[in-house]
């Protein structure tokens, strides 16, 4: 992401949560991945954070709520 910012400072970055991190309900890792991408995008405020692909069966709604709360708590 840092290389993208260097060459395209106004670009919107699409951060992605690793595919099985969310489906395995790894809450700490999910928030850590979000914060990593947010910190890299913070200066220019251009981050869209999504899951990498579809949401797998067994993924918990509580994990999605956690990520939404993290986005509200740690926003720019």
Task: Provide the residue ranges of all domains of the chain, joining segments of one domain with +.
Answer: 13-73
Express each pLDDT in 8-20 by its tens digit: 878 787 888 887 8
- What CA–CA distance (Å, rounded) separates 74 from 67? 10
pTM of the model: 0.78
Q: Could you tell me which of 32, 56, 55 has the C-alpha nearest to residue 15?
A: 32
Express each pLDDT in 32-60 by its tens digit: 999 988 888 777 777 888 888 778 777 88
């Amino acid at each position: 992401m840092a290389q993208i910012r260097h060459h395209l400072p106004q670009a919107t970055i699409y951060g992605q949560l690793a595919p099985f991190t969310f489906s395995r309900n790894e809450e700490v890792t999910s928030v850590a991945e979000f914060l990593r991408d947010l910190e890299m995008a913070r200066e220019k405020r251009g981050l869209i954070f999504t899951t990498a692909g579809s949401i797998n069966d067994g993924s918990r709604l509580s994990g999605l709520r956690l990520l939404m709360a993290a986005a509200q708590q740690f926003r720019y």
